[in-house]
Amino acid sequence: MKNITIVGAQWGDEGKGKIVDHLCSKFDVVLRFQGGHNAGHTIVVGKDKFILSILPSGLIRNKLCIIGSSVVIDPVHFLKEIDLLRKRKIKISQRNLKIANNASILLPFHSIIDQVREKRLSKKKIGTTGRGIGPCYEDKIARRGLKIYDLEDTNVLKNRLKNLIDFHNIFLKNLSKKKISFNETFKLLVSLRKKILPFSIDVSEFINSKFFFKKKLLFEGAQGLMLDIDHGTFPFVTSSNTIPATAATSIGIKPSKIGHILGVLKSYTTRVGEGPFPTEIKSDIGLEIAKNGNEFGSVTNRPRRCGWFDAVQCRKAIKIAGIDSIALTKIDVLDNFKKIKICYQYKIGKKKIHFMPNSNKILKNVKPIYLTVDGWCANTTGIKNKKLLPQKAQKFIKIIEKLINTPIVFLSNGPDRNDIINWKFPFKAWPKPNCH
């Protein structure tokens, strides 16, 4: 059985958490490899809904879960999320949850800086979650940020924290009346260190040990590929690399170990925040999709912008990530539409193009060229056998598969964790899940 890396192949909110939850029973370890608590993975188990932002989704299945070094960790939120899951009878300890000791620490003032910046940008804002992810990554790249292992020595912690706060107070003094308190921040970290450090390990040394030689690994990405800092719609992107290659960097393993790359796509498209969105629907149809799909951010509760499926965008994501197969989600959201559109080309002036431009100036002016197909106007929620899906729904899926030139292997057709159809099962070494 191959290791698998799961990534979102649009602008996030594709349903990655549900797919991780569906597959992780076949794996020994679930590894989160980038982002921070700006992610939002939702898992529905019967009447229970679990929303995770920093913790790997595999904890719901009681799997060994590891957070890699490319993740920025807010210790307050990390412990709060653990407490919330424990209250809901999810077992969490240092035995089934580990964090990289070289992961960066996200501090309370990072969110203050984030929000001050967004406010000053006004109409030119990026549309961040305001949780301090960007400023924390900046400190990491500038080599002034704190690492988890800095908590081990309070003298080292004090010196590094003082230098970091002194730097940021110069910025805040000029832009706002706010000032970071060193004493309060230091006191907070000292109070948390004994709770955080038991979870911390050298992840690379741990995962490359003989014990894990034959273990099956599932790597879990956070934000979508179109939010990648290098390959996304810059500057309207997140502050980390969301591509699968980041998994190898974050965990400290050879790239070949990330295995089969599974991309997750919605049957339509959404994005949160600012930035170009060629297939965005600004009519009542977009509002209907949002209502049917409950398209509100699980972290921010912001309404998501909705649009038709964009095969041009998806082809780009598949190329930059090396995606091998696709999980197509939320097909049930389109159940009541008589006509459904699929973008297969862009038009710039009189010129037609088959690829998604990098330049935002160009991208915001492209016009989508649509293929219009008949909707199936029938309920697909909860269907377990693909042969029982309406023929027009099957046709829709096959058209998407052809346009993106990548096999669709899973189909999600409802909010519950078991609302998944194995469309094509590509992993010959795996037995098919019993529930299907």
Please determine, for residue 273, whether its predicted confidence score (pLDDT) is greater than 90: no
Q: pLDDT value at position 100? A: 98
Does residue 361 sit within a domain?
yes
Please determine, for residue 426, whether its predicted confidence score (pLDDT) is greater than 90: no
> What range does the domain containing 113 cover?
104-199
Average pLDDT over residues 129-145: 90
Does residue 436 sit within a domain?
no
For residue 436, what pLDDT band results from cuts at 50, 70 and 90? very low
**What share of the chain in percent tops pLDDT 90?**
70
Q: pLDDT value at position 1? A: 53
Q: Is the same domain home to 345 and 396?
A: yes
CATH number at residue 138: 1.10.300.10
Does residue 429 sit within a domain?
no
Average pLDDT over residues 260-274: 94
For residue 21, what pLDDT band results from cuts at 50, 70 and 90? confident
Q: pLDDT value at position 297? A: 65
Q: pLDDT value at position 50? A: 76
Please determine, for residue 272, whether its predicted confidence score (pLDDT) is greater than 70: yes
Q: Which of 13, 74, 150, 324 is catalytic?
A: 13
Q: pLDDT value at position 65? A: 94
Q: Which of 22, 37, 41, 168 is catalytic?
A: 41
The yes-or-no answer on residue 13 being catalytic is yes
Q: Is the Cβ–Cβ distance between 410 and 327 less than 8 Å?
A: yes
Average pLDDT over residues 31-57: 79
How many C-beta neighbours within 10 Å does residue 174 have? 7
Q: Which of 56-60, 82-86, 362-366, 371-375 is predicted with the least confidence, judged by mean pLDDT?
A: 56-60
Average pLDDT over residues 72-89: 92
Please determine, for residue 421, whether its predicted confidence score (pLDDT) is greater than 80: yes
Average pLDDT over residues 256-271: 96
For residue 192, what pLDDT band results from cuts at 50, 70 and 90? very high
Residue finishing a domain among 182, 199, 216: 199
Q: What is the pTM of this model?
A: 0.90
Average pLDDT over residues 329-347: 97
Q: pLDDT value at position 116? A: 79
Q: Is the Cβ–Cβ distance between 164 and 105 less than 8 Å?
A: no
Q: pLDDT value at position 433? A: 41
Q: Is the same domain home to 211 and 289?
A: yes
Average pLDDT over residues 23-32: 92
Please determine, for residue 257, whether its predicted confidence score (pLDDT) is greater than 70: yes
Q: Is the same domain home to 259 and 397?
A: yes
Q: Is the same domain home to 358 and 218?
A: yes
Q: Is the same domain home to 42 and 134?
A: no
Average pLDDT over residues 135-161: 96
The per-residue pLDDT of the chain, averaged, comes to 90
How many C-beta neighbours within 10 Å does residue 170 have? 9
Q: pLDDT value at position 299? A: 58
Q: Is the same domain home to 363 and 400?
A: yes
Distance CA 26, CA 217 (A): 9
The yes-or-no answer on residue 41 being catalytic is yes
Specify the number of domains making up the chain. 2
The number of CA neighbours under 13 Å toward the Cβ of 234 is 10
Please determine, for residue 46, whether its predicted confidence score (pLDDT) is greater than 70: no
Does residue 350 sit within a domain?
yes
